[in-house]
Chain A
Amino acid sequence: MDRYSFSLTTFAPNGKLLQIEHALAAVGNGSTSVGIKAANGVVVATEKKTGSSLIDVSSLEHMAMVCNSIGMVYSGMGPDFRVLVSSARKMAQRYIQTYKEDPPVRILVKELASIMQEFTQSGGVRPFGVSLLLAGVDDRGPNLYQVDPSGSYFPWKATAIGKNMINSKTFLEKRFNSDMELEDAVHTAILTLKEGIEGQMTEESIDIGVISTLPAAQSDGKAQPTFKRLSPAEIRDYLSNIA
């Protein structure tokens, strides 16, 4: 146990933490993910890149619901993402147990970021090899946050992470405006991903998650915004409007 009581992430002479830089490189190798905050909701989308046509793409889960009003997507290492999804879900449930309300997005983001930062300063562990995009609706309306391996977090109106992030962000800068409706935002997200995808884009090769500020009626009669992963059929509808 003592053998790893020291942190593996240490400062280089130029002031950088090289492990974090390398983690960011791992993120940069991952499939592109895109997020757009519309006036009445948020959309996140990612490319489901597979090395082989033999993979059952329909069972790949890139989009995770953290709680009813918050969803999460990533670029980078899948296994690291799963761990963070699990933590985020537990965090959200702990909050709900205490306050009987969904956590505001910024509160969940801070806690998640805190965990990711711990892994840059604790003994014997490495930073997470993912950047996260969190999309949710709370008392402040629609929210979109990015969380990096270092534990830094950024609120965005629109952003991209992963392989094609630079071109995608340039594309988004031209296309984004703050009056965008959710429908337009989904459309734009798809177009942004399309810029970076090699080959055909089908409903199997991308994953889209949306949450609208207009609450959907729940079974107990209480209306609540719900994060939803679009079905392949729904994605196909959007795609048919693009071609």
Chain B
Amino acid sequence: MRTATAVAAPIEAHGHNHWSPYVDNGGTTLAIAGEDYVLVASDTRQSDGYAINSRYEPKAFVLSNNAVLGTSGCVADAKRLCEVLEQRAQLYQHKHDRQISTPALARLLSNTMYNRRMLPYYVFPVLAGLDSEGRGAAYAYDAIGSMERVTNSCFGSAETLIQPFLDNQVARNNQRGADPERLLTRQEALKIAIDAFTSATERDIYTGDYLEIFIIDAAGVHKETRELKHD
């Protein structure tokens, strides 16, 4: 019996040319939660391998309920995830006649990501906002929506450099005589965030250019920008 031969040779035959839907655009995001505020800091460099796509492409987005979604990973997925989340927040607002609370939005984000279990959003988000008691809340996720409420978190190309630094300086792990329960003040958190990024910029090629810092408290969302090294 004659079988038809394939016209196009399958790419998989080689094994190393396979097309991937995912791209890592580099960059880093961190969050620190305090007693009555929460801080999100992310660099603005967008890369593709050794190429720089943009020196200023923000990775953290303010949502309509005064929460901030910090992202890292694939920028296309991050932007879409943010849009989808904002849409759901708006629908909630219309239905309930009030803003969605941060814990509810956090759960919603988790579900949104898990629904794409089989082709995940290549995003490692951190959601920051005030909880129902006015305390700073930061939620950290993996790419399929596994969530945890934290006082500090870092994701992205420099996470391995920054997270241990946060563990020691914010959570005060492995420090003799330190009080791990005490939360940072805004000034302390700001200083640590800036120091973390200036240090990471030196060592990580994908992190740098500009630093955007969002501080969320009862008064709203306040944004600051700092310069980072452009090399």
Binding site for B on A (CB under 8 A): 97-101, 104, 107, 139
Closest chain A residue, CB of each to CB of B132? A101
CA distance A218 to B92 in the complex (A): 27
Q: Is B90 an interface residue (CB 8 A)?
A: no
Q: B108 near A98 (CB under 8 angstroms)?
A: yes
Q: Is B98 an interface residue (CB 8 A)?
A: yes
Q: B96 near A100 (CB under 8 angstroms)?
A: no
In the complex, number of A-B residue pairs with CB atoms less than 8 Å apart: 21
Most buried by B among A97, A98, A99: A99
CA distance A104 to B108 in the complex (A): 16
Q: Is B84 an interface residue (CB 8 A)?
A: no
Binding site for A on B (CB under 8 A): 92, 95-96, 98, 100-101, 103-104, 106-108, 111
Q: B96 near A104 (CB under 8 angstroms)?
A: yes
CA distance A139 to B111 in the complex (A): 23
A-B contact pairs, 21 of them (CB 8 A): A97-B107, A97-B111, A98-B107, A98-B108, A98-B111, A99-B92, A99-B100, A99-B104, A99-B107, A99-B108, A100-B103, A100-B104, A100-B106, A100-B107, A101-B101, A101-B103, A101-B104, A104-B96, A107-B95, A107-B96, A139-B98
CA distance A98 to B96 in the complex (A): 14
Q: Which residues of B contact A99 (CB under 8 A)?
A: 92, 100, 104, 107-108
Q: Which residues of B contact A107 (CB under 8 A)?
A: 95-96
Q: Which residues of A contact B101 (CB under 8 A)?
A: 101
CA distance A98 to B98 in the complex (A): 17
Q: Which residues of B contact A98 (CB under 8 A)?
A: 107-108, 111
